[in-house]
Amino acid sequence: MSLYVLTLILTAAVLHAFWNLLAKKAKGKTPFVWLMYVASTILYLPVLLYRIYHGDIFFSQPVLWFSLSSAVLHIGYYMVLQKGYRSADLSVVYPLARGTGPLFSSVAAILFLHEQLKVSASIGLLLILVGVLIITGLSFKKENNSKIMSGVFWGVLTGFFIALYTFNDALAIKSYAASPLIITFVGGAISTILLLPFVVSKKNELTREIKLHKWIIISIAILSPAAYILVMEALKYAPLTVVAPARETSILIGVFMGSKVLNEQDGKRRLVASAAILGGIIALSLH
């Protein structure tokens, strides 16, 4: 991995963990997600026009179809993620979401693509499962049971959507030479349209979100696409099996933020669990 690719991935990891911290603070619902898409579309439009003017990127029918599927999958991702953040701690939902994405991808490759279960993959799967068990806590207090298990459910479901959109977008970039900016921007613009029927009657909630979370919405609108574009850019120069585990260093950053910034409990235990999950992701990437 070159220094350039490593810089892209690590920068993306920091940005990703930070915008998830902001999302946790907001605990937004559909109007929040829609406003984020609107802001992102407006803010990134000049960048897109500049790139088109200089002939750096192009549109094609396959790219538009991939953008549509990416939009649908990302909507599912954001809605499920925000539900998780309303239900449980950042240091529970975030590492599970980021860790189970590669887990699902690997299991699917073994079951449907008939890839062999190698020793490194077995160790990786085991480490991720151990991390999940540590996060849930083998001897946690009864009053925390429902909250933690809710976080586990929504975190794992988020990981499922991560696996789907990562495969979709990586295929568009590697097989159809799609620009990461095009996939991200067009996907976001389509998402704005798709979510419009669900927010058109919620003017009071939209007004409330703008009043309370205006700067958080703008920050996520900038940071979330930026982090993803950096990762997709890295995929141009390195294989997914290298980029995917490296980007998940954000797991440790996210859990640290949850513990120190949000004062979430069991910070040390969840950090150990996150390290196990990260180790499992790295092991899965070894061939």
Predicted local confidence at residue 139, as pLDDT: 46
CB 273 within 8 A of CB 95: yes
Note the pLDDT tens digit of each residue in 217-244: 999 999 999 998 898 888 778 776 667 6
Note the pLDDT tens digit of each residue in 39-80: 999 999 999 998 888 877 777 888 889 999 999 999 999 999
Note the pLDDT tens digit of each residue in 4-35: 888 898 899 899 999 999 999 998 999 999 99
Predicted local confidence at residue 114, as pLDDT: 67
Note the pLDDT tens digit of each residue in 116-160: 667 777 787 788 778 777 776 644 555 556 777 888 899 999 999
Q: Which of 13, 18, 10, 11 lies closest to 219 in space, CA to CA? A: 18
CB 70 within 8 A of CB 183: yes
Rounded Cα distance between 30 and 275, Å, is 32
> How much is the pTM?
0.84
CB 66 within 8 A of CB 237: no
Average pLDDT over residues 147-176: 86
Task: Name residue 80's amino acid.
Answer: V
Predicted local confidence at residue 249, as pLDDT: 78
Note the pLDDT tens digit of each residue in 76-89: 999 999 999 998 88
Rounded Cα distance between 194 and 203, Å, is 17
Average pLDDT over residues 243-264: 80
Sign of the Cα torsion 13, 14, 15, 19 reads positive
Note the pLDDT tens digit of each residue in 192-224: 999 999 999 999 999 999 999 999 999 999 999
Rounded Cα distance between 65 and 118, Å, is 35
Q: Which residue has the tokens 């982090």?
A: 227
Average pLDDT over residues 236-259: 77
Predicted local confidence at residue 220, as pLDDT: 97
